[in-house]
Structure 1
Protein backbone atom coordinates (compact mmCIF):
# COMPACT_ATOMS: atom_id res chain seq x y z
CA UNK A 1 0.00 0.00 0.00
CA UNK A 2 1.39 3.42 -0.96
CA UNK A 3 1.96 6.19 1.59
CA UNK A 4 -0.60 8.39 -0.16
CA UNK A 5 -3.27 5.68 0.08
CA UNK A 6 -2.47 5.09 3.75
CA UNK A 7 -2.69 8.79 4.65
CA UNK A 8 -5.97 9.27 2.76
CA UNK A 9 -7.54 6.29 4.53
CA UNK A 10 -6.42 7.46 8.00
CA UNK A 11 -7.85 10.95 7.40
CA UNK A 12 -11.07 9.35 6.17
CA UNK A 13 -11.20 7.13 9.28
CA UNK A 14 -11.12 10.15 11.60
CA UNK A 15 -13.91 11.80 9.62
CA UNK A 16 -15.95 8.59 9.56
CA UNK A 17 -15.71 8.03 13.32
CA UNK A 18 -16.61 11.67 13.95
CA UNK A 19 -19.78 11.64 11.86
CA UNK A 20 -20.86 8.35 13.42
CA UNK A 21 -20.44 9.92 16.85
CA UNK A 22 -22.59 12.87 15.74
CA UNK A 23 -25.21 10.50 14.29
CA UNK A 24 -25.30 8.53 17.54
CA UNK A 25 -25.64 11.72 19.60
CA UNK A 26 -28.57 12.91 17.49
CA UNK A 27 -30.60 9.75 18.25
CA UNK A 28 -32.44 10.54 15.01
CA UNK A 29 -34.29 8.42 12.49
CA UNK A 30 -35.65 8.90 8.97
CA UNK A 31 -36.05 12.65 9.40
CA UNK A 32 -32.46 13.11 10.54
CA UNK A 33 -31.13 11.02 7.62
CA UNK A 34 -33.13 13.16 5.15
CA UNK A 35 -31.85 16.30 6.84
CA UNK A 36 -28.15 15.52 6.63
CA UNK A 37 -28.59 14.09 3.10
CA UNK A 38 -30.18 17.40 2.01
CA UNK A 39 -27.25 19.27 3.56
CA UNK A 40 -24.77 17.03 1.71
CA UNK A 41 -26.58 17.62 -1.59
CA UNK A 42 -26.44 21.38 -1.04
CA UNK A 43 -22.84 21.64 0.17
CA UNK A 44 -21.30 19.48 -2.57
CA UNK A 45 -23.43 20.73 -5.49
CA UNK A 46 -20.96 23.49 -6.54
CA UNK A 47 -18.09 20.98 -6.71
CA UNK A 48 -20.09 18.59 -8.89
CA UNK A 49 -21.22 21.42 -11.19
CA UNK A 50 -17.58 22.49 -11.57
CA UNK A 51 -16.61 18.89 -12.34
CA UNK A 52 -19.29 18.47 -15.00
CA UNK A 53 -18.44 21.76 -16.70
CA UNK A 54 -14.66 21.58 -16.74
CA UNK A 55 -14.04 17.82 -16.91
CA UNK A 56 -16.51 17.17 -19.75
CA UNK A 57 -17.87 14.05 -18.06
CA UNK A 58 -20.59 12.10 -19.84
CA UNK A 59 -23.32 10.29 -17.90
CA UNK A 60 -24.81 7.23 -19.58
CA UNK A 61 -26.93 4.28 -18.51
CA UNK A 62 -23.89 2.51 -17.04
CA UNK A 63 -23.13 5.42 -14.73
CA UNK A 64 -26.81 5.79 -13.81
CA UNK A 65 -27.02 2.09 -12.97
CA UNK A 66 -24.03 2.20 -10.63
CA UNK A 67 -25.26 5.42 -9.00
CA UNK A 68 -28.77 3.99 -8.47
CA UNK A 69 -27.42 0.76 -6.98
CA UNK A 70 -25.06 2.65 -4.70
CA UNK A 71 -27.86 4.99 -3.58
CA UNK A 72 -30.18 2.13 -2.62
CA UNK A 73 -27.57 0.25 -0.60
CA UNK A 74 -26.28 3.42 1.07
CA UNK A 75 -29.80 4.45 2.04
CA UNK A 76 -30.51 1.05 3.57
CA UNK A 77 -27.20 1.33 5.43
CA UNK A 78 -27.95 4.84 6.75
CA UNK A 79 -31.46 3.99 7.97
CA UNK A 80 -30.38 0.71 9.57
CA UNK A 81 -27.45 2.47 11.24
CA UNK A 82 -29.69 5.15 12.80
CA UNK A 83 -32.14 2.52 14.05
CA UNK A 84 -29.29 0.51 15.50
CA UNK A 85 -27.89 3.50 17.36
CA UNK A 86 -31.27 3.99 19.03
CA UNK A 87 -31.05 0.62 20.79
CA UNK A 88 -27.31 -0.04 21.19
CA UNK A 89 -23.99 1.55 22.09
CA UNK A 90 -21.80 3.20 19.47
CA UNK A 91 -18.84 1.26 20.90
CA UNK A 92 -20.62 -2.08 20.18
CA UNK A 93 -22.55 -1.60 16.94
CA UNK A 94 -19.82 0.42 15.22
CA UNK A 95 -17.02 -2.17 15.67
CA UNK A 96 -19.23 -5.12 14.65
CA UNK A 97 -20.42 -3.34 11.51
CA UNK A 98 -17.00 -2.03 10.53
CA UNK A 99 -15.39 -5.42 11.21
CA UNK A 100 -17.89 -7.58 9.33
CA UNK A 101 -17.76 -5.40 6.23
CA UNK A 102 -14.01 -5.59 5.43
CA UNK A 103 -13.88 -9.29 6.27
CA UNK A 104 -16.48 -9.97 3.57
CA UNK A 105 -14.82 -7.52 1.18
CA UNK A 106 -11.39 -9.12 1.55
CA UNK A 107 -12.81 -12.57 0.78
CA UNK A 108 -15.15 -11.63 -2.09
CA UNK A 109 -12.71 -9.20 -3.79
CA UNK A 110 -10.31 -12.08 -4.44
CA UNK A 111 -12.97 -13.71 -6.64
CA UNK A 112 -14.63 -10.63 -8.18
CA UNK A 113 -11.61 -8.41 -8.84
CA UNK A 114 -8.90 -11.09 -8.88
CA UNK A 115 -6.97 -9.30 -6.14
CA UNK A 116 -3.91 -11.03 -4.70
CA UNK A 117 -3.12 -10.80 -0.98
CA UNK A 118 0.45 -11.02 0.32
CA UNK A 119 1.19 -13.05 3.47
CA UNK A 120 1.65 -9.81 5.43
CA UNK A 121 -1.62 -8.49 4.06
CA UNK A 122 -3.50 -11.67 5.03
CA UNK A 123 -2.01 -11.55 8.53
CA UNK A 124 -2.97 -7.89 8.87
CA UNK A 125 -6.58 -8.56 7.86
CA UNK A 126 -6.80 -11.48 10.33
CA UNK A 127 -5.41 -9.30 13.15
CA UNK A 128 -7.89 -6.50 12.44
CA UNK A 129 -10.82 -8.92 12.42
CA UNK A 130 -9.52 -10.50 15.65
CA UNK A 131 -9.27 -7.07 17.28
CA UNK A 132 -12.87 -6.31 16.33
CA UNK A 133 -13.93 -9.63 17.87
CA UNK A 134 -12.13 -8.72 21.11
CA UNK A 135 -13.49 -5.15 21.19
CA UNK A 136 -17.07 -6.40 21.02
CA UNK A 137 -16.57 -8.84 23.90
CA UNK A 138 -16.11 -12.08 21.96
CA UNK A 139 -18.41 -15.02 22.58
CA UNK A 140 -19.18 -13.71 26.06
CA UNK A 141 -21.34 -10.91 24.70
CA UNK A 142 -23.68 -13.47 23.09
CA UNK A 143 -24.76 -14.52 26.58
CA UNK A 144 -26.13 -11.03 27.23
CA UNK A 145 -29.68 -10.86 25.93
CA UNK A 146 -29.55 -7.05 25.71
CA UNK A 147 -26.65 -7.30 23.26
CA UNK A 148 -28.28 -9.68 20.78
CA UNK A 149 -30.32 -7.01 18.96
CA UNK A 150 -27.42 -4.49 18.65
CA UNK A 151 -25.17 -7.30 17.40
CA UNK A 152 -27.77 -8.24 14.80
CA UNK A 153 -27.89 -4.65 13.60
CA UNK A 154 -24.10 -4.56 13.53
CA UNK A 155 -23.82 -7.66 11.33
CA UNK A 156 -26.59 -6.46 9.00
CA UNK A 157 -24.91 -3.08 8.61
CA UNK A 158 -21.61 -4.86 7.93
CA UNK A 159 -23.20 -6.81 5.06
CA UNK A 160 -24.47 -3.55 3.57
CA UNK A 161 -21.01 -1.99 3.95
CA UNK A 162 -19.51 -4.90 2.01
CA UNK A 163 -22.19 -4.52 -0.66
CA UNK A 164 -21.67 -0.86 -1.41
CA UNK A 165 -17.87 -1.13 -1.06
CA UNK A 166 -17.60 -3.86 -3.69
CA UNK A 167 -20.10 -2.13 -6.00
CA UNK A 168 -18.38 1.24 -5.73
CA UNK A 169 -14.92 -0.32 -6.18
CA UNK A 170 -16.03 -1.58 -9.58
CA UNK A 171 -17.52 1.79 -10.47
CA UNK A 172 -14.39 3.86 -9.77
CA UNK A 173 -11.59 1.44 -10.69
CA UNK A 174 -13.04 -0.73 -13.45
CA UNK A 175 -15.47 1.65 -15.19
CA UNK A 176 -13.58 4.82 -14.10
CA UNK A 177 -16.60 6.73 -12.81
CA UNK A 178 -15.53 9.87 -10.93
CA UNK A 179 -15.57 9.27 -7.14
CA UNK A 180 -17.18 12.67 -6.57
CA UNK A 181 -19.84 12.03 -9.22
CA UNK A 182 -20.61 8.54 -7.90
CA UNK A 183 -20.93 9.72 -4.32
CA UNK A 184 -22.99 12.79 -5.16
CA UNK A 185 -25.31 10.83 -7.44
CA UNK A 186 -25.85 8.37 -4.61
CA UNK A 187 -26.67 11.25 -2.25
CA UNK A 188 -29.23 12.67 -4.69
CA UNK A 189 -30.79 9.23 -5.11
CA UNK A 190 -31.14 8.83 -1.35
CA UNK A 191 -32.61 12.32 -1.05
CA UNK A 192 -35.23 11.59 -3.73
CA UNK A 193 -36.20 8.27 -2.12
CA UNK A 194 -36.55 9.85 1.34
CA UNK A 195 -38.31 13.07 0.30
CA UNK A 196 -41.88 11.67 0.26
CA UNK A 197 -41.42 10.54 3.86
CA UNK A 198 -39.88 13.86 4.87
CA UNK A 199 -42.75 15.77 3.30
CA UNK A 200 -45.36 13.78 5.22
CA UNK A 201 -43.37 14.05 8.48
CA UNK A 202 -42.19 17.65 8.15
CA UNK A 203 -42.74 18.27 11.86
CA UNK A 204 -40.10 15.63 12.62
CA UNK A 205 -37.68 17.25 10.18
CA UNK A 206 -38.20 20.67 11.77
CA UNK A 207 -37.81 19.19 15.23
CA UNK A 208 -34.52 17.49 14.32
CA UNK A 209 -33.26 20.69 12.72
CA UNK A 210 -34.11 22.64 15.85
CA UNK A 211 -32.62 20.11 18.27
CA UNK A 212 -29.73 18.63 16.29
CA UNK A 213 -28.77 21.23 13.70
CA UNK A 214 -25.04 21.01 14.46
CA UNK A 215 -25.05 17.22 14.26
CA UNK A 216 -26.91 17.26 10.92
CA UNK A 217 -24.46 19.77 9.43
CA UNK A 218 -21.49 17.80 10.74
CA UNK A 219 -22.74 14.51 9.28
CA UNK A 220 -23.80 16.23 6.05
CA UNK A 221 -20.28 17.55 5.47
CA UNK A 222 -18.10 14.74 6.86
CA UNK A 223 -20.03 11.70 5.60
CA UNK A 224 -19.53 12.35 1.85
CA UNK A 225 -15.99 13.72 2.24
CA UNK A 226 -14.83 10.67 4.20
CA UNK A 227 -16.19 8.32 1.56
CA UNK A 228 -14.89 10.36 -1.38
CA UNK A 229 -11.39 9.93 0.06
CA UNK A 230 -11.97 6.17 0.28
CA UNK A 231 -13.32 6.00 -3.29
CA UNK A 232 -10.31 7.96 -4.53
CA UNK A 233 -7.98 5.52 -2.77
CA UNK A 234 -9.79 2.52 -4.29
CA UNK A 235 -8.98 3.81 -7.78
CA UNK A 236 -5.32 2.82 -7.33
CA UNK A 237 -5.37 0.45 -4.31
CA UNK A 238 -6.83 -3.07 -3.88
CA UNK A 239 -10.15 -2.86 -2.03
CA UNK A 240 -9.16 -5.90 0.06
CA UNK A 241 -6.53 -3.64 1.67
CA UNK A 242 -8.51 -0.40 1.72
CA UNK A 243 -11.52 -1.85 3.56
CA UNK A 244 -9.61 -3.28 6.56
CA UNK A 245 -7.24 -0.33 7.05
CA UNK A 246 -10.07 2.21 7.16
CA UNK A 247 -11.38 0.29 10.17
CA UNK A 248 -8.94 2.21 12.35
CA UNK A 249 -12.08 4.32 12.67
CA UNK A 250 -13.34 1.55 15.00
CA UNK A 251 -10.66 2.44 17.53
CA UNK A 252 -11.42 6.13 17.15
CA UNK A 253 -15.15 5.49 17.49
CA UNK A 254 -14.66 3.33 20.60
CA UNK A 255 -12.59 6.08 22.22
CA UNK A 256 -15.25 8.65 21.35
CA UNK A 257 -17.91 6.41 22.85
CA UNK A 258 -15.85 6.14 26.04
CA UNK A 259 -14.88 9.81 26.40
CA UNK A 260 -17.87 11.64 24.94
CA UNK A 261 -20.76 9.22 25.52
CA UNK A 262 -19.57 7.67 28.80
CA UNK A 263 -19.49 4.17 27.32
CA UNK A 264 -17.10 1.63 28.86
CA UNK A 265 -13.68 0.87 27.34
CA UNK A 266 -11.55 -1.22 29.72
CA UNK A 267 -8.44 -3.38 29.39
CA UNK A 268 -10.01 -5.71 26.79
CA UNK A 269 -10.47 -2.90 24.30
CA UNK A 270 -7.00 -1.51 24.96
CA UNK A 271 -5.55 -4.91 24.04
CA UNK A 272 -7.78 -5.06 20.97
CA UNK A 273 -6.63 -1.60 19.94
CA UNK A 274 -3.01 -2.74 20.08
CA UNK A 275 -3.76 -5.79 17.91
CA UNK A 276 -5.59 -3.57 15.44
CA UNK A 277 -2.65 -1.21 15.14
CA UNK A 278 -0.31 -4.16 14.43
CA UNK A 279 -2.72 -5.41 11.76
CA UNK A 280 -2.94 -1.99 10.13
CA UNK A 281 0.86 -1.65 10.08
CA UNK A 282 1.16 -5.13 8.52
CA UNK A 283 -1.22 -4.19 5.70
CA UNK A 284 0.46 -0.83 5.18
CA UNK A 285 3.90 -2.47 4.88
CA UNK A 286 2.57 -5.18 2.57
Structure 2
Protein backbone atom coordinates (compact mmCIF):
# COMPACT_ATOMS: atom_id res chain seq x y z
CA UNK A 1 0.00 0.00 0.00
CA UNK A 2 1.49 3.33 -1.09
CA UNK A 3 1.86 6.32 1.23
CA UNK A 4 -0.81 8.23 -0.73
CA UNK A 5 -3.38 5.43 -0.40
CA UNK A 6 -2.46 4.95 3.28
CA UNK A 7 -3.01 8.65 4.03
CA UNK A 8 -6.23 8.80 2.02
CA UNK A 9 -7.77 5.88 3.92
CA UNK A 10 -6.82 7.45 7.26
CA UNK A 11 -8.54 10.67 6.18
CA UNK A 12 -11.60 8.61 5.24
CA UNK A 13 -11.50 7.09 8.73
CA UNK A 14 -11.69 10.55 10.28
CA UNK A 15 -14.66 11.47 8.10
CA UNK A 16 -16.38 8.19 8.95
CA UNK A 17 -16.08 8.78 12.69
CA UNK A 18 -17.35 12.32 12.20
CA UNK A 19 -20.61 11.37 10.50
CA UNK A 20 -21.27 8.67 13.09
CA UNK A 21 -20.84 11.28 15.80
CA UNK A 22 -23.27 13.62 14.06
CA UNK A 23 -25.91 10.88 13.90
CA UNK A 24 -25.31 9.96 17.56
CA UNK A 25 -25.59 13.60 18.60
CA UNK A 26 -29.23 13.89 17.53
CA UNK A 27 -32.09 12.93 19.82
CA UNK A 28 -33.77 10.66 17.25
CA UNK A 29 -31.23 8.17 15.88
CA UNK A 30 -33.65 6.62 13.37
CA UNK A 31 -34.46 10.05 12.01
CA UNK A 32 -30.75 10.74 11.73
CA UNK A 33 -30.18 7.65 9.61
CA UNK A 34 -33.10 8.54 7.34
CA UNK A 35 -31.66 12.02 6.84
CA UNK A 36 -28.30 10.46 6.10
CA UNK A 37 -29.92 8.26 3.49
CA UNK A 38 -31.66 11.21 1.84
CA UNK A 39 -28.30 12.97 1.55
CA UNK A 40 -26.78 9.79 0.11
CA UNK A 41 -29.53 9.57 -2.47
CA UNK A 42 -29.12 13.16 -3.64
CA UNK A 43 -25.34 12.87 -3.90
CA UNK A 44 -25.69 9.48 -5.57
CA UNK A 45 -27.94 10.98 -8.25
CA UNK A 46 -25.29 13.58 -9.04
CA UNK A 47 -22.61 10.90 -9.29
CA UNK A 48 -24.80 8.76 -11.56
CA UNK A 49 -25.20 11.71 -13.90
CA UNK A 50 -21.48 12.46 -13.96
CA UNK A 51 -19.75 9.06 -13.95
CA UNK A 52 -20.13 5.98 -16.22
CA UNK A 53 -22.47 3.19 -15.11
CA UNK A 54 -20.90 -0.02 -13.74
CA UNK A 55 -20.10 -2.82 -16.18
CA UNK A 56 -22.85 -5.50 -16.48
CA UNK A 57 -20.86 -8.07 -14.47
CA UNK A 58 -20.73 -5.69 -11.49
CA UNK A 59 -24.48 -5.32 -10.93
CA UNK A 60 -24.98 -8.48 -8.88
CA UNK A 61 -22.12 -7.35 -6.63
CA UNK A 62 -23.81 -3.96 -6.36
CA UNK A 63 -27.03 -5.69 -5.26
CA UNK A 64 -25.13 -7.62 -2.59
CA UNK A 65 -23.52 -4.44 -1.33
CA UNK A 66 -26.88 -2.67 -1.06
CA UNK A 67 -28.28 -5.58 0.95
CA UNK A 68 -25.40 -5.56 3.44
CA UNK A 69 -25.50 -1.77 3.71
CA UNK A 70 -29.14 -2.00 4.74
CA UNK A 71 -28.25 -4.64 7.33
CA UNK A 72 -25.48 -2.44 8.70
CA UNK A 73 -27.49 0.77 8.88
CA UNK A 74 -30.54 -0.88 10.41
CA UNK A 75 -28.69 -2.66 13.20
CA UNK A 76 -26.35 0.27 13.84
CA UNK A 77 -29.35 2.52 14.38
CA UNK A 78 -30.88 0.11 16.90
CA UNK A 79 -27.54 -0.30 18.69
CA UNK A 80 -27.14 3.47 19.03
CA UNK A 81 -30.50 3.54 20.79
CA UNK A 82 -29.07 1.23 23.45
CA UNK A 83 -25.53 2.42 24.06
CA UNK A 84 -23.03 5.24 23.77
CA UNK A 85 -20.84 5.93 20.76
CA UNK A 86 -17.60 4.70 22.33
CA UNK A 87 -19.13 1.25 23.01
CA UNK A 88 -21.37 0.65 19.99
CA UNK A 89 -18.89 1.81 17.38
CA UNK A 90 -15.97 -0.45 18.41
CA UNK A 91 -18.12 -3.59 18.46
CA UNK A 92 -19.80 -2.72 15.17
CA UNK A 93 -16.49 -2.04 13.45
CA UNK A 94 -13.91 -4.12 15.32
CA UNK A 95 -14.84 -7.62 14.25
CA UNK A 96 -15.45 -6.74 10.60
CA UNK A 97 -11.75 -6.61 9.53
CA UNK A 98 -11.15 -10.11 10.85
CA UNK A 99 -14.18 -11.45 8.98
CA UNK A 100 -13.01 -9.75 5.78
CA UNK A 101 -9.48 -11.09 6.28
CA UNK A 102 -10.72 -14.66 6.60
CA UNK A 103 -12.89 -14.46 3.49
CA UNK A 104 -10.14 -12.67 1.53
CA UNK A 105 -7.59 -15.37 2.28
CA UNK A 106 -10.06 -17.99 1.08
CA UNK A 107 -11.50 -16.51 -2.12
CA UNK A 108 -9.64 -13.35 -3.22
CA UNK A 109 -6.39 -13.08 -5.17
CA UNK A 110 -5.14 -10.22 -2.95
CA UNK A 111 -1.63 -10.71 -1.59
CA UNK A 112 -1.36 -9.99 2.14
CA UNK A 113 1.90 -10.58 4.00
CA UNK A 114 2.20 -12.30 7.37
CA UNK A 115 3.11 -8.96 8.98
CA UNK A 116 0.03 -7.33 7.50
CA UNK A 117 -2.18 -10.18 8.69
CA UNK A 118 -0.80 -9.61 12.18
CA UNK A 119 -1.53 -5.90 11.79
CA UNK A 120 -5.14 -6.56 10.82
CA UNK A 121 -5.61 -8.82 13.83
CA UNK A 122 -4.08 -6.20 16.12
CA UNK A 123 -6.37 -3.50 14.76
CA UNK A 124 -9.41 -5.71 15.25
CA UNK A 125 -8.32 -6.70 18.77
CA UNK A 126 -7.63 -3.12 19.76
CA UNK A 127 -10.97 -1.93 18.48
CA UNK A 128 -12.88 -4.63 20.35
CA UNK A 129 -10.92 -3.79 23.52
CA UNK A 130 -12.36 -0.27 23.26
CA UNK A 131 -15.75 -1.76 24.11
CA UNK A 132 -14.65 -4.13 26.88
CA UNK A 133 -16.86 -2.40 29.44
CA UNK A 134 -19.92 -3.85 27.77
CA UNK A 135 -18.61 -7.38 28.31
CA UNK A 136 -16.90 -7.01 31.71
CA UNK A 137 -19.17 -4.58 33.53
CA UNK A 138 -22.56 -5.25 31.97
CA UNK A 139 -22.86 -1.82 30.35
CA UNK A 140 -25.96 -1.99 28.18
CA UNK A 141 -25.43 -5.59 27.08
CA UNK A 142 -28.63 -5.39 25.07
CA UNK A 143 -26.66 -3.52 22.39
CA UNK A 144 -24.22 -6.40 21.77
CA UNK A 145 -26.22 -8.54 19.27
CA UNK A 146 -27.25 -5.47 17.29
CA UNK A 147 -23.70 -4.14 17.14
CA UNK A 148 -22.42 -7.57 16.06
CA UNK A 149 -25.00 -7.74 13.28
CA UNK A 150 -23.83 -4.30 12.19
CA UNK A 151 -20.33 -5.81 12.03
CA UNK A 152 -21.59 -8.59 9.76
CA UNK A 153 -23.11 -5.91 7.54
CA UNK A 154 -19.80 -4.02 7.48
CA UNK A 155 -17.82 -7.10 6.48
CA UNK A 156 -20.35 -8.06 3.82
CA UNK A 157 -20.56 -4.71 2.09
CA UNK A 158 -16.77 -4.24 2.27
CA UNK A 159 -16.22 -7.44 0.31
CA UNK A 160 -18.97 -6.75 -2.22
CA UNK A 161 -17.85 -3.14 -2.66
CA UNK A 162 -14.22 -4.05 -3.26
CA UNK A 163 -15.06 -6.78 -5.76
CA UNK A 164 -17.79 -4.70 -7.37
CA UNK A 165 -15.64 -1.59 -7.82
CA UNK A 166 -12.95 -3.70 -9.46
CA UNK A 167 -15.44 -5.37 -11.79
CA UNK A 168 -17.32 -2.17 -12.62
CA UNK A 169 -14.45 -0.54 -14.45
CA UNK A 170 -15.13 2.78 -12.70
CA UNK A 171 -15.28 2.97 -8.90
CA UNK A 172 -17.07 6.35 -8.86
CA UNK A 173 -19.96 5.11 -10.98
CA UNK A 174 -20.30 2.06 -8.73
CA UNK A 175 -20.36 4.25 -5.60
CA UNK A 176 -22.98 6.58 -7.11
CA UNK A 177 -25.40 3.75 -7.86
CA UNK A 178 -24.67 2.14 -4.50
CA UNK A 179 -25.61 5.25 -2.53
CA UNK A 180 -28.67 6.00 -4.63
CA UNK A 181 -30.14 2.49 -4.37
CA UNK A 182 -29.29 2.09 -0.68
CA UNK A 183 -30.78 5.50 0.11
CA UNK A 184 -33.95 4.84 -1.85
CA UNK A 185 -34.67 1.56 -0.07
CA UNK A 186 -33.77 2.78 3.44
CA UNK A 187 -35.74 6.01 3.08
CA UNK A 188 -38.82 4.22 1.76
CA UNK A 189 -38.55 1.75 4.62
CA UNK A 190 -38.19 4.56 7.16
CA UNK A 191 -41.27 6.35 5.85
CA UNK A 192 -43.22 3.09 5.87
CA UNK A 193 -42.29 2.43 9.51
CA UNK A 194 -42.57 5.92 10.99
CA UNK A 195 -44.49 7.91 8.39
CA UNK A 196 -43.76 11.56 7.61
CA UNK A 197 -42.98 12.13 11.28
CA UNK A 198 -39.52 10.72 10.61
CA UNK A 199 -38.75 13.84 8.56
CA UNK A 200 -37.63 16.69 10.83
CA UNK A 201 -39.05 20.19 10.69
CA UNK A 202 -35.96 21.93 11.98
CA UNK A 203 -33.63 23.39 9.32
CA UNK A 204 -30.73 22.76 11.71
CA UNK A 205 -31.45 19.04 11.83
CA UNK A 206 -31.69 18.92 8.04
CA UNK A 207 -28.34 20.69 7.81
CA UNK A 208 -26.71 18.21 10.20
CA UNK A 209 -28.09 15.32 8.15
CA UNK A 210 -26.75 16.77 4.91
CA UNK A 211 -23.32 17.40 6.45
CA UNK A 212 -23.20 13.84 7.81
CA UNK A 213 -24.27 12.51 4.43
CA UNK A 214 -21.57 14.42 2.58
CA UNK A 215 -18.87 13.27 5.00
CA UNK A 216 -20.12 9.69 4.70
CA UNK A 217 -20.09 9.70 0.90
CA UNK A 218 -16.60 11.20 0.65
CA UNK A 219 -15.24 8.75 3.22
CA UNK A 220 -16.76 5.79 1.46
CA UNK A 221 -15.79 7.00 -1.99
CA UNK A 222 -12.15 7.11 -0.87
CA UNK A 223 -12.33 3.65 0.71
CA UNK A 224 -13.89 1.98 -2.34
CA UNK A 225 -11.35 3.61 -4.64
CA UNK A 226 -8.57 2.38 -2.34
CA UNK A 227 -9.90 -1.18 -2.65
CA UNK A 228 -9.25 -1.05 -6.39
CA UNK A 229 -5.54 -0.36 -5.86
CA UNK A 230 -4.84 -2.17 -2.56
CA UNK A 231 -5.95 -5.42 -0.86
CA UNK A 232 -9.54 -5.20 0.41
CA UNK A 233 -8.62 -6.65 3.82
CA UNK A 234 -5.96 -3.98 4.40
CA UNK A 235 -8.24 -1.10 3.44
CA UNK A 236 -11.07 -2.46 5.60
CA UNK A 237 -8.81 -2.77 8.64
CA UNK A 238 -7.10 0.58 8.17
CA UNK A 239 -10.29 2.58 7.84
CA UNK A 240 -11.51 1.09 11.14
CA UNK A 241 -8.90 3.25 12.81
CA UNK A 242 -11.86 5.65 12.73
CA UNK A 243 -12.65 4.10 16.13
CA UNK A 244 -9.81 6.13 17.63
CA UNK A 245 -11.39 9.28 16.26
CA UNK A 246 -14.82 8.15 17.42
CA UNK A 247 -13.62 7.56 20.98
CA UNK A 248 -11.94 10.97 21.03
CA UNK A 249 -15.16 12.60 19.82
CA UNK A 250 -17.12 10.64 22.42
CA UNK A 251 -14.83 11.84 25.23
CA UNK A 252 -14.79 15.48 24.08
CA UNK A 253 -18.42 15.96 23.10
CA UNK A 254 -20.49 13.21 24.76
CA UNK A 255 -18.65 13.10 28.11
CA UNK A 256 -17.73 9.43 27.69
CA UNK A 257 -15.05 8.18 30.08
CA UNK A 258 -11.42 7.84 28.98
CA UNK A 259 -9.63 5.21 31.06
CA UNK A 260 -6.42 3.21 31.02
CA UNK A 261 -8.11 0.38 29.13
CA UNK A 262 -8.95 2.66 26.21
CA UNK A 263 -5.40 3.99 26.11
CA UNK A 264 -4.06 0.43 25.97
CA UNK A 265 -6.51 -0.43 23.22
CA UNK A 266 -5.42 2.64 21.29
CA UNK A 267 -1.80 1.51 21.53
CA UNK A 268 -2.72 -1.93 20.15
CA UNK A 269 -4.50 -0.28 17.20
CA UNK A 270 -1.53 1.97 16.46
CA UNK A 271 0.81 -1.04 16.45
CA UNK A 272 -1.56 -2.74 14.03
CA UNK A 273 -1.58 0.27 11.73
CA UNK A 274 2.23 0.31 11.69
CA UNK A 275 2.29 -3.38 10.75
CA UNK A 276 -0.27 -2.82 7.97
CA UNK A 277 1.80 -0.01 6.48
CA UNK A 278 4.92 -2.17 6.32
Fold shared per TM-score above 0.5:
yes
Root-mean-square deviation (Å): 2.1
Change (3 A) 1:64 1:126: closer
2:249 matched to which residue of 1?
Answer: 256
- Count how many residue pairs are aligned between Structure 1 and Structure 2: 276
Change (3 A) 1:145 1:271: closer
2:268 matched to which residue of 1?
Answer: 275
Structure 1 position 46, deviation (Å):
3.1
Asked if the contact 2:126–2:265 (Cα under 8 Å) also holds between the matched residues in 1, the reply is yes
For residues 284 and 161 of structure 1, what CA distance do their matches in structure 2 show? 22
For residues 134 and 70 of structure 2, what CA distance do their matches in structure 1 show? 29
Map 1:72-221 → 2, pairs under 5 A: 72-137=67-132, 141-173=134-166, 175-193=167-185, 194-195=187-188, 197-198=190-191, 201-207=195-201, 209-210=202-203, 212-221=205-214
Structure 1 position 210, deviation (Å):
4.5
For residues 267 and 214 of structure 1, what CA distance do their matches in structure 2 show? 36
| Range with greater deviation from structure 2 (18-27 or 33-42) | 33-42
Q: TM-score, normalised by structure 1?
A: 0.88
For residues 198 and 234 of structure 1, what CA distance do their matches in structure 2 show? 33
For residues 185 and 244 of structure 1, what CA distance do their matches in structure 2 show? 24
For residues 29 and 180 of structure 1, what CA distance do their matches in structure 2 show? 29
For residues 266 and 110 of structure 1, what CA distance do their matches in structure 2 show? 35
1:233 matched to which residue of 2?
Answer: 226
Asked if the contact 2:29–2:80 (Cα under 8 Å) also holds between the matched residues in 1, the reply is no
1:224 matched to which residue of 2?
Answer: 217
For residues 16 and 252 of structure 2, what CA distance do their matches in structure 1 show? 17
Change (3 A) 1:225 1:144: same
For residues 197 and 122 of structure 1, what CA distance do their matches in structure 2 show? 39
Secondary structure of 1:87's match? Answer: coil
Structure 2 unmatched runs, 5+ = none
| Range with greater deviation from structure 2 (198-207 or 102-111) | 198-207
Structure 1 position 103, deviation (Å):
0.8
Q: TM-score, normalised by structure 2?
A: 0.91
Asked if the contact 2:54–2:168 (Cα under 8 Å) also holds between the matched residues in 1, the reply is no
1:48 matched to which residue of 2?
Answer: 48
For residues 82 and 141 of structure 1, what CA distance do their matches in structure 2 show? 18
For residues 279 and 118 of structure 1, what CA distance do their matches in structure 2 show? 13
Asked if the contact 1:40–1:220 (Cα under 8 Å) also holds between the matched residues in 2, the reply is yes
For residues 191 and 44 of structure 1, what CA distance do their matches in structure 2 show? 9
